[in-house]
Amino acid sequence: MGEKVYEKPTLEQLRKELKRENNKKEYRRVLRNTLIVVVVVAAFAVLVSSFFITVLKVTGDSMTPTLETGQIVIAQNSSSFEPGELIAFYYNNKVLVKRVLGSPGDKINIDSDGNVTVNGIALDEPYASEKSLEPTDISFPYQVPENRYFVLGDHRSASIDSRSSVVGCVTKEQLIGKVIFRVFPFDSFGTIK
């Protein structure tokens, strides 16, 4: 029986093997660091979207011409709103976007032509289309209850909003935040008025 003979590796073979092992270690280190960065960025994005901003896709015609179906907007989480600002809020497991017209304690009146007055001052509403009193089942003048906001859609004849007891005034618990920015489509990219 023949005895196995082992040859000593040459210096060049040892260098190649060492280089290969070092490359494997470097690859593992880069992969590990990349995965750590991806996880941290994803966690940061989830935190930001949970506590500071919410991304929403618009559906329906109640906010035309300001917002159109299919547009993507960003709502900044907030708990106080000024009249005229757009807000997003939860209603029956859906997210609705409407315009704040009355704050807690304000007296709202809408005439038969759909013109809105708040605390006796007529609002200039260049954003509103097809002004209408309907659909409504509440009587005007109407005082906004404490801790609630009176909201209307910009396309008044097609919007179900605070004029209807079905939606009513928005409570602070329903609020998501101010709709401040449009991200899609890109030709409409920018702040929302």
What is the reported pLDDT for 72?
A: 87
pLDDT for 23-76, tens place per residue?
Answer: 888 889 988 989 988 988 887 777 666 667 777 788 887 888 888 888 888 888
What is the reported pLDDT for 185?
A: 78
On the question of pLDDT at 190 being above 70, the answer is no
CA 145-149-151 angle, to 5 degrees, is 125
pLDDT for 65-74, tens place per residue?
Answer: 888 888 888 8
Its pTM stands at 0.70
Whole-number Å distance between alpha carbons of 160 and 190: 27
% of residues, the chain, pLDDT over 90: 15
Q: For residue 45, give Cα distances in angstroms to 48, 52, 174.
A: 5, 10, 23
On the question of pLDDT at 85 being above 80, the answer is yes
Q: Which residues are catalytic?
A: 62, 98
Residue ranges per structural domain of the chain: 9-51, 56-191
Assigned CATH topology for domain 56-191:
Umud Fragment, subunit A (2.10.109)
